[in-house]
Amino acid sequence: EVQLVESGGGLVQPGRALRLSCAASGFRFEDYAMHWVRQVSGKGLEWVAGISWNSKSLGYVDSVKGRFTISRDNAKNSLFLQMDSLTTEDTALYYCVKDMAPTIVVSPNFHYGMDVWGQGTTVTVS
């Protein structure tokens, strides 16, 4: 069964740090780009960060640039999000998401879509 399981969320004070983890199983993790997407309770979806299969391409939404770092360990089938200098605006449910493609830079060779989602881990900054 294809599965993504997030962990590491919790209650943290403004200015502090938190590290989210995502454990992948049921597919060849090393072949696909991965993302973090967040959702404030009752609001819409916001893409936070993405990473290519080989970690050579990274992308961030402007509001987290310089504060958040996405990384992956293909040997351990794991995705991470290091979140520093947290603010109340970062309070949300954070989803780990698999892409259909290996890259985050669009190429005509691939189709792009977020086809597997975890159940999310809640981050509360207060």
Partner 1 sequence: IQMTQSPSSLSASVGDRVTITCRAGQNIGRDVNWYQQKPGKAPKLLIYAASSLHSGVPSRFSGSGSGTEFTLTISSLQPEDFASYYCQQSYSTPRTFGQGTKLEIK
Q: CA–CA separation, 43 vs 83, rounded Å? A: 21
Choose between 18 and 98: whose C-beta lies nearer to partner 1: 98
User: Toward partner 1, which CB reaches closer, 25 or 112?
Assistant: 112
The span from the CA of 87 to the CA of 69, in Å, is 15
Residue 47 near partner 1 by CB under 8 A? yes
27 near partner 1, judged by CB under 8 A: no
Q: Per CB under 8 A, does 84 bind partner 1?
A: no
Residue 44 binds to partner 1 (criterion: CB under 8 A): yes
Contact, 72 vs 52, CB < 8 A?
A: no
Are the beta carbons of 80 and 23 closer than 8 angstroms?
Answer: no
- Least distance (Å) between residue 15 CB and partner 1: 24
Q: Which residues bind partner 1 (CB under 8 A)?
A: 35, 44-47, 50, 59-62, 95, 100, 104-106, 111-115, 117-120
